[in-house]
Amino acid sequence: MNGEIEGPASGYNRTMKVMVGVSGGIAAYKAAEVVRALQRHALEVRVTMTQAATRFVQPLTFAALSGHRVMTSLWEMPTDASPDAPIDHIAEAQWADLLVVAPATADILARFAHGLADDFLTTMYLATSAPVVVAPAMNSVMWEHAATQANVEMLRRRGVRIVEPDAGPLACGMVGPGRMAEPEQIANAVLNALGRSHDLAGEVVLITAGGTREALDPVRFLGNRSSGKMGYALAEAAQSRGARVILVTGPSALHPPIHCEVVRVTTAEEMRQAVLARQAEATLVIKSAAVADYRPVVVAEQKLRRQGPMTLELLPTEDILAEVVRRRRPGQLIVGFAAETEDTVEQGRAKLLRKGADAIVVNDVGREEIGFDSDHNAATFLTLSTAIDLPFMPKRKLADRVLDEVVALRRPQSLLVELSSTELELQREMPVREGSSVQQDETALRESAAPRRKALMIE
Ligand code: PMT
């Protein structure tokens, strides 16, 4: 329903899959937090437990958190499994992009090191070619024992990543090294092992996606060809880089990425209200939606009848992007998109100046293989002083490239630069939109840069 916030839906883009192995130590209860931390980074998680682990925590806890059956035995088959169903530990080993064991007891480290495979977890360890991360947790004397250290060293040499235990008070009453690392630290090690950056951790990203619809009568509307693919790809990318994502979306047939907060809207005015209502929470706003520029003055209550030629009277909608810029809070970055069909870079630059955003991603929607409803896109990322070419690539990849540039804007160096006369000179050399003088553009340029400079002073 419009304006309502939805919980997670099934995945849209390929999500990285992580198997969490839980072995039997007191820190097993903290594995639930590890699962949650991984899910916050948009990873799909399944869990396997050793028999000893099930004495500390019920498998039901992990089944509820992961939404999947928890593997606890090599011999347990679902009652409805067909005889030719794949063998679980092999199927799971192939399913996982990474295996993380948290907590990893001295026993499990020894079994991994020596290739013993008499339960689901140890068998899966041998059967997987995916990266393995272990987070040991045990009594400090056990941790420091030469046998444990030799096993850890052997695993390290084989490429297993060790998330070193912390020092502190232990469950056994001793004080020393052996306490399992914090769940977020384990999640970070997993992300690093997967080669994923989490450079947007701590950011709240408000993204608009899809097209809006303006009703003419109860059955017809003015709309556009936006599928939501670009915006959903941005949402997935931002989330996988650690951001909390609020996705305000027009009607779309796509499933939004898991774990992002979805606000569904239909009209430009609904989108405006949803965006303004959530703007204060956001550290970054990305407006990739194709918002209607006009709406009918009158919406017919009954279906319009065919009666020869018809003239529609239209009114301009509010410019949400410009309003968001006017209301920006200190430190908030605002990125717009521009859909152009001619002189794309010049038109994009004119929009950047007119709307006062920090950046505009301009794409040529006249090209059939990119833009609306395509799985691919190509664009130019424009700021006051740069024009970065983002060549033809899948939208999901382009989303990451856009975010790379946004992250670069956050760097103090680029933010601290005072708008210099050199920058203005650069702007003069760039094409200016028709009907505007250089003087007007300089004013717009100074005005649009001012909030950012002010924000920096506050920060
Ligand atoms: O959804 P897909 O099928 O994947 O297609 C992706 C896309 C082509 C829609 C996307 O890449 C794109 O170009 N989005 C911007 C579309 C657009 O409305 O551009 P515009 O040039 O008309 O508007 C410029 C900016 O102002 C945009 O950030 C837009 O969200 C914003 N705007 C426009 C009108 C309005 N009333 N309010 C706004 O905030």
Q: Is 399 in the pocket of ligand 1 (CB under 6 A)?
A: no
Distance 252 CA to ligand 1 centre (A): 15
Out of 172, 201, 215, 276, which one is annotated catalytic? 172
How far apart (Å, rounded) are the C-alpha atoms in residues 315 and 307?
Answer: 23
288: CA distance to ligand 1 center in Å?
5
CA of 338 to the centre of ligand 1 (A): 6
Q: Is the dihedral angle over the CA atoms 281, 383, 252, 268 positive or is it negative?
A: positive
User: Please, where in the chain does CATH 3.40.50.1950 lie?
Assistant: 15-193
Ligand 1 atom nearest residue 322's Cα: 39
Residue with CA closest to ligand 1 atom 13: 339
Cβ–Cβ < 8 Å for 319, 448: no
Q: Quick one: pLDDT at residue 46?
A: 95
| Strands 166-169, 175-179: pairing kind | antiparallel
In DSSP notation, 150-200 reads HHHHHHHHTT-EE-PPEEEE-TTS-EEEEEPPPHHHHHHHHHHHTT---TT
Looking at the CA of residue 395, tell me the nearest atom of ligand 1. Answer: 4
CATH superfamily for 15-193 is: Flavin prenyltransferase-like (3.40.50.1950)
* Max Cα distance, the chain (Å): 91
Q: What pLDDT is stored for residue 169 in this prediction?
A: 81
Residue pair 155/133 in contact by the 8 Å Cβ criterion: no
| Per-residue pLDDT, 83 | 61
User: Which of 222, 226, 363, 377, when mutated, tests ligand 1's pocket best, judged by the most ligand atoms within 8 Å of its CB?
Assistant: 226
Residue ranges for the chain with pLDDT beneath 70: 1-15, 77-87, 411-459
φ, ψ for residue 203, nearest 5 deg: -85, 150
What is the C-alpha separation between 428 and 239, in angstroms, rounded?
Answer: 38
Which among 334, 56, 24 is positioned nearest to 208, based on CA atoms?
A: 334
Closest ligand 1 atom, CA of 321?
Answer: 39
pLDDT at residue 42, as a whole number: 77
Average pLDDT, the chain: 85
Whole-number CA gyration radius for the chain: 27
**CB atoms < 10 A from the CB of 416, how many?**
9
Cα-based angle 370, 430, 324 (whole degrees, multiple of 5)? 65
Query: Helix, strand or coil for residue 347?
Result: helix
38 CA → ligand 1 middle, Å = 32
CA separation for the pair 306, 220 (Å, rounded): 13
Query: Domain 204-458 sits in which CATH superfamily?
Result: CoaB-like (3.40.50.10300)
CATH 3.40.50.10300 residue window(s) in the chain = 204-458
Residue 210 Cα: closest atom of ligand 1: 1
Ligand 1 geometric centre to CA of 437 (Å)? 26
Atom of ligand 1 nearest to the CA of 290: 18
| Site to substitute for ligand 1 among 212, 286, 288, 392, most atoms within 8 A of C-beta | 288
Q: Ligand 1: does its nearest atom lie under 6 Å from the Cβ of 226?
A: yes
- Catalytic (active site) residue 172: yes
> Amino acid identity, residue 361?
V
Going by C-alpha positions, the residue among 3, 18, 1 that lies closest to residue 240 is 18
Q: How far is the CA of 356 from the centre of ligand 1 (A)?
A: 15
Residue 306 per-residue DSSP state: P
Cα–chain-centroid distance for residue 30? 25
